[in-house]
Amino acid sequence: MGFFCGESWSWVFRWGRIFNANDLLEFLELWNCVWRCKILAHKTDSISWVDSSDELFSTRSMYGALSNDDSGATNVSSLSKVWWKTIPVKVSAFCWKLLQDRIHTKENLSKRNILSADQSLACAFCSESPESASHLMIECQFTAQV
């Protein structure tokens, strides 16, 4: 994939066949990712998550990166991230529904008058807060263990 030339890394790609149009698009996506990577000769490799202050991945930081911008509206570019071709369709569909606040939580069912007014909106797992999408995905102590 490359070699060190002095202190800097030089990328070298070799292909076993001629690119078709789809291959070229995929290569351009790859190049867009790797050209920014700085490989240093005397440092160990590490991976960091830029959407978190401690640079560690968490579902909370992913949810934050995909869900809302400063105005509180769902970020349109985040919705396109849900439909990556490497994610199973059922996972993408669930994430899309989650970002649109369309999963069947007690809070949403109550808003749509599907639950009766006398039914509790408390989380079925922890009973500490109303069962909302953000509670189930981020705040609930029970689902955090899952």
List, for residues 116-135, the tens digit of each pLDDT value: 888 999 999 999 999 999 89
SS3 68: strand
**Model pLDDT, residue 81:** 63
Quick one: pLDDT at residue 38?
74
39 token code pair:
């490989």
- Run of H or E including 98: helix 89-99
pLDDT confidence band for 144 (50 / 70 / 90):
confident
d(CA 27, CA 49): 23
pLDDT for position 32: 81
SS3 131: coil
Q: What mean pLDDT comes out for the span 96-110?
A: 88
pLDDT at 145 over 60: yes
Answer with the residue of higher pLDDT: 42 or 108: 108
Question: What pLDDT, on a 0 to 100 scale, did the predictor assign at position 71?
Answer: 47
Q: Considering Cα of 37, then 40, then 46, then 52, what sign does the dihedral take?
A: negative
What are the pLDDT digits (tens) for 33-92? 777 777 777 777 777 787 788 888 887 777 777 665 544 455 555 556 666 666 777 888
Model pLDDT, residue 72? 46
pLDDT for position 123: 93
Q: Quick check: 106 pLDDT over 90?
A: yes
Residue 110: helix, strand or coil by DSSP? helix
DSSP, collapsed to helix, strand or coil, labels residue 76 as helix
Global confidence as pTM: 0.44
With tokens 């009766």, the residue in question is 116
